[in-house]
Structure 1
Amino acid sequence: MTFSANTSSYRNIFPQDKTIELNQAVYSGYRQLVQTMLTVDKLDVNFTPNGRDTYLHTAIARRDLAMVQLLVMFKANLNPLLTARDAISPLWMAMLYSYDDISEFLVRAGADINERFSLHFCGKKCNYTINGINGGKTSLLHLAVARNHEAHVKLFLDYGADINYQDTFGKESALQYAVFRKFISLATILIYRGANLESANVDGMTSLHTALIIGDVDLIKMLIQRGANVKAVDNSGKTALHFIAESNVENVEIAEQLLNMGLRINQTEFKRNLGPLHVALLTGKDKLVKLFVRHGADVTAKISNGVSPLSLANLYCSAKTMRLMIARGANVNDKIDDGGTTLHMAARRYSAEKVRVLLRCGANINSLDLRGSTPLGCLENFHSDVAKVLVKQIAIMHARGAFIALSTMEVIWANVPLMEHFNQCLAELKFIEKKPFYLRYTLRTVLDERPMKLAALTRNSDFVLGFQTIKLKLEVPNFAREICIKFMCALLLKYQLSSMEEHLNRIFYDSLPEPIIQAIAYHMNIQDTPYLVERLVRAIRQVQEKARRARRELATEETIGPAQ
C-alpha cells in the first residue's frame, strides 16, 4: 500500500474516535497520516486514555524509530506523568525491550536519565527478566550495568546519570553491580568516572568486600590503588580478611598485601566471634591458614559455640594444617562440646592420618567424653585403619609402662581382631627395642631420636648401611612406614645441613672456623635459613666494619703520637 498526501481513503478503515484512529496509525507506522492528524486535527500528542500508555509508547512497542522521532518532533513528552501504578516511561520501555537505537535517541532528546523504576511492575507487559536485579527501585544505569552494555553506561554517564545512586532494595550502587558480576571493564569506567568506593549496601559491604569474595585479583588491586578503604567493616563486623577467607579463590598474595597494610588479624565479627583464621579453616584454605598463623593469628581463640581452631582444622583442613596449629600453641587435648577431644572427633571421622598427627603431638588416648568413651571406644568399625593406629599407640604405651585407661583395654579384650593386632604390635616393639643394627643403636633410636640428632647420625655411612640391612616390612610391618619416613626425613635433613654448611663456608670462610659454622647450621631452622643467614651476614659485616674502624683509629693515633 502506497501512502499519499490524500489521507481520507485510509481514515475509512479506522474508527471515528480520532484518538483511537491516531493510535492505530502510530501502531501501523503510517507516519504521514500521523503527521496530518497532529497538524490538521490538532490532536494531543501526549494523550493517555488509560494513564499508562501514550502514542510514544505505542511507537516504541513497534520498534519504529522513525515514528518515535516524528512524535518527539511534535513535542511528545519524553517524561510523561503517568498515573497507573505499573506505568513505564518511554525510555524505560525502550531499555527493557533492549531497543538500543530508540534508547539512545530518547536519551539524547532529553529523557530523564535518573528516573527510578521497580522492575517487578513491568510484569508481562514487557516480557522482561534479568538475573540479579531485585524488586526495589533501580536506575537505568544499574540496568545498563547488569546487561554489561558499555556504550549505554558511557552514554548515561555523559548525560548526567547519578553514578552513586543505590537501589532501594539492597542499596547497591552501579559499581557494586559491576563488581558482583565481574564486569571489569564497566567497573573501571565507573571508578574513573568518580564512583564512590566507600558506598555500602544494606549489609554494609563495600565494592572492595564484594571483589574480595568474587576473588578477581585485577579488580581488587584496582580498587585498592584507587583508594578503597581496606579497613572498612560490614554491619556484622567482618573485615576484608574475613571476605577474602570466604572467597572460593584462595588468594594468598592479596591477603598478605592486606595484612601488610595494617589489618588486624584477630578482629572478630559480632555474632559468632569468628576471626579471619576461623573463616579460612571453615572454608578449608590451608595456604591462607598458614599465612594468618605466620602473621600472629590466635590459634587458641574459640568461636561463640566453643569450637576451637584445631577442631575446625580437623573438620575442614589437612593434617599438615593441624600439625601447624599444634606447633603454634593449639591445645591438642582441648575439650569440645560433647566432652571429647579433637582425637575423638578425628577417630569418629575415621581419618587415620589426622589421628596419627594428633598422637604424635601428644593427644591423650585415655581421654573420656561425656558418654565415658575413649577415642578407641567411640569407634563402630574396629577393622578400620583408625582402630589399628590407636591400638598400635596403646601397644607402644604398654611396652613403655605408661598408664592406659581400663575402659580402653576392655575394648581391646572384647574384640578378637583388636587383641590380635595389639599382640602383634607388642612383638614388633620387642624387636625394635632389642635388635641393634649398628653398635648400640636400635630401631627405637630411629623412632625416638630428635630429627637433628638423627640427621647427624646419618653422616656415618656404617649407621646408614646397618639400617638398610633390616627388612622392615618383614620384621616390623606395623611400624615400617613411620620408621622409613623418619629415616628418610633425617637423610633429607642431612643433605640440607650439608648444603647450609657449604653456603655458610662460602660467606664466612675468612671470618669463622668450621666447627662454629657446623654449630650454626645445626641449630638453624631449615625453613628460616635465608632470613637467618641474611641477618647473620649483616651482623658479622657490622662487627668487621667496627673492627676495621678501630684498627684505623689505632693506626692514626700511633702515627700522630710520635710526630707530636
Structure 2
Amino acid sequence: MFPDLLHALFEGTPENRFEHMRQQVRPGDSIKALMHIEGSTPLMIALNIQPNIPVAEALLAAGADINARTYKGEHALHYCIYSEEAVAWLLDHGVDPNVPIQEGTQSPLGHREQAHTVGWTGLHSAAQHDNLAIVELLLKYGANPNSVDYRGETPLHSAAQCNNLPAVELLLKHGANPNSADRYGVTPLLIACRRGYPYKRLIRTLIDAGADIHATGRDGRTPLHLIAWFGGRYSKAVLRMLLYRGANPMIKDASGRLPIDLTSNSARGQSLRAILQKNMTHRVRIWYMHVQKP
C-alpha cells in the first residue's frame, strides 16, 4: 500500500492528490504501521517541502501518529523544519516545540540508523537557516532557546556557526545565554572568533549581550587567541574591537602560549602581532621584543 500512497501524495494537482490519497486509505488500514524504507511516514511526506495540509488532515483523522519518528530518530518537526506552513500545522496540533532528535533504531535493512545530532530540537535546525519566521514561530510556541544537544550545543551555537545574525539577535531577545558552553567549553563567541572578520557584527552583538571575552575552551584559548591563530582577512578590525572591549592579551592558553605567540609569519600575521605588542604591558612588551630577536 505504501508505494500507492506515495504516488497519491505526489501526482497531479493538490485536489487530485487529496482524492487519490483518500481512495488509498481504506477503512481498517493501519496508517500508523506505514513507513517508508527510511522510516518516514505518509504524514511526514505530506508535510515535507510543499505541504499538502488537506492530505495531512486526512491522514491524521485516519489515525496517523503525529509523533512517529524515522529510523534516525527524527520527529516530523525535524523532518519538515524548513517549511513554515508545516511547522505551524504541527505546532497547532499539539506537537512539543522542544521535541529532540532521539537515538536511531534498527532499520529494515538491518543496520542502525542515526541522525547527525542527537538532542537537536527544531530550534537548533531553524537557527542555522535564513527563514527567521520559523525561529519566531518556534519561540512563540515555547521553544527553549537554551536547549542542548548531546554535545551541549544550544540553538545560539547553531546560529553562530552559520553567521546567522538575525537568529542570534532573536534568540538573545528571548533569553538565550550568550555564555552557554558546550561539553568542550566552547561558547558561541569562540565559534564566531574562529571565523574572524565576516563575523564581526555577530561578535559585537554577542559581546553587547554579555558574552565573556575571556571565555576559553579546553585548550585554554580566548577569543584573542583564536583571532591571532586563524588570522583571516581583515582580522585586525576584530582584534582591535576585542582589545577595545577589554580583552587581556596577557592570558596564556593551556600550552602556555600568549595570543601573540599564535600569529603567523605572514604579512597579515605580522600586522596582528604589532597590534598585540602595542597592547601588552610595557615591561612584557620590551621582554618579548628582546627574546624575538635572532
Q: TM-score range by the shorter chain?
A: 0.7 to 0.9
Give the counterpart letter for 2:220 in structure 1.
Answer: G
Structure-2 separation of matches of 1:157 and 1:410: 82
Structure-2 separation of matches of 1:344 and 1:319: 16
Give the counterpart letter for 1:210 in structure 2.
Answer: Y
Match of 2:79 among 203, 207, 210: 210
Match of 1:295 among 174, 199, 211: 174
Q: CA deviation at 1:407?
A: 5.8
Matches within 5 A, 1:302-451: 302-316=181-195, 318-350=199-231, 351-384=235-268, 387-392=270-275, 394-395=277-278, 404=284, 408-410=288-290, 414=293
1:376–1:408 contact (8 Å) kept in structure 2: no
2:240–2:275 contact (8 Å) kept in structure 1: no
**Would the alpha carbon gap of residues 395 and 233 (structure 1) be closer, same or farther in structure 2, given more than 3 Å must change?**
closer
2:151–2:183 contact (8 Å) kept in structure 1: yes
Bigger Rg, structure 1 or 2: 1
Match of 1:157 among 9, 12, 22: 22
Structure-2 separation of matches of 1:313 and 1:143: 45
Give the counterpart letter for 1:202 in structure 2.
Answer: Y
Structure-2 separation of matches of 1:332 and 1:393: 16
1:366–1:405 contact (8 Å) kept in structure 2: no
Q: Which residue of 1 aligns with 2:109?
A: none
**Would the alpha carbon gap of residues 405 and 334 (structure 1) be closer, same or farther in structure 2, given more than 3 Å must change?**
farther
Aligned residues: 266
For residues 126-151 of structure 1, the C-alpha deviation after alignment (integer angstroms, 9 at most, x for no partner) is: xxxxxxxxxxxx44213443667854
1:148–1:183 contact (8 Å) kept in structure 2: no
Structure-1 separation of matches of 2:283 and 2:263: 21
2:220–2:254 contact (8 Å) kept in structure 1: yes
For residues 407-461 of structure 1, the C-alpha deviation after alignment (integer angstroms, 9 at most, x for no partner) is: 64346x538xxxxxxxxxxxxxxxxxxxxxxxxxxxxxxxxxxxxxxxxxxxxxx
1:367–1:374 contact (8 Å) kept in structure 2: yes
- SS of the residue 1:193 aligns to: helix
**Would the alpha carbon gap of residues 205 and 404 (structure 1) be closer, same or farther in structure 2, given more than 3 Å must change?**
same
Structure-2 separation of matches of 1:230 and 1:148: 33
Structure-1 separation of matches of 2:25 and 2:37: 23
Matches within 5 A, 1:217-236: 217-235=84-102, 236=118
Q: Which residue of 2 aligns with 1:176?
A: 44
For residues 261-314 of structure 1, the C-alpha deviation after alignment (integer angstroms, 9 at most, x for no partner) is: 222211212x21121111222232121111112211112221112222211121
For residues 314-343 of structure 1, the C-alpha deviation after alignment (integer angstroms, 9 at most, x for no partner) is: 135611211222222222122333333221
Larger relative CO (CA 8 A, sep 6+): 1 or 2? 2
Which structure 1 residue ranges, 5 or more long, are not aligned?
1-113, 115-137, 416-564
Question: Quick check: 1:259 aligned with 2:128?
Answer: no
**Would the alpha carbon gap of residues 390 and 148 (structure 1) be closer, same or farther in structure 2, given more than 3 Å must change?**
farther
Could you tell me the TM-score, scaled by structure 2's length?
0.77
2:278–2:285 contact (8 Å) kept in structure 1: no
2:163–2:202 contact (8 Å) kept in structure 1: no
Q: CA deviation at 1:397?
A: 5.4
Give the counterpart letter for 2:263 in structure 1.
Answer: L
Q: CA deviation at 1:156?
A: 4.0
Structure-2 separation of matches of 1:155 and 1:143: 9
1:142–1:173 contact (8 Å) kept in structure 2: no
Structure-1 separation of matches of 2:138 and 2:236: 36
Structure-1 separation of matches of 2:71 and 2:96: 18
Question: Quick check: 1:272 aligned with 2:151?
Answer: yes
1:166–1:174 contact (8 Å) kept in structure 2: yes
Q: Which residue of 2 aligns with 1:554?
A: none
Higher share of residues assigned helix: 1
1:366–1:408 contact (8 Å) kept in structure 2: no
**Would the alpha carbon gap of residues 152 and 397 (structure 1) be closer, same or farther in structure 2, given more than 3 Å must change?**
closer
Structure-2 separation of matches of 1:272 and 1:311: 15
2:200–2:238 contact (8 Å) kept in structure 1: yes
Give the counterpart letter for 1:267 in structure 2.
Answer: S
**Would the alpha carbon gap of residues 393 and 148 (structure 1) be closer, same or farther in structure 2, given more than 3 Å must change?**
farther
2:124–2:158 contact (8 Å) kept in structure 1: yes
Give the counterpart letter for 1:323 in structure 2.
Answer: R
Identity of aligned residues (%): 23
Q: Which residue of 2 aligns with 1:190?
A: 55
Structure-2 separation of matches of 1:148 and 1:198: 28
Structure-1 separation of matches of 2:46 and 2:12: 8
Structure-1 separation of matches of 2:143 and 2:25: 37
2:156–2:171 contact (8 Å) kept in structure 1: yes
1:299–1:329 contact (8 Å) kept in structure 2: yes
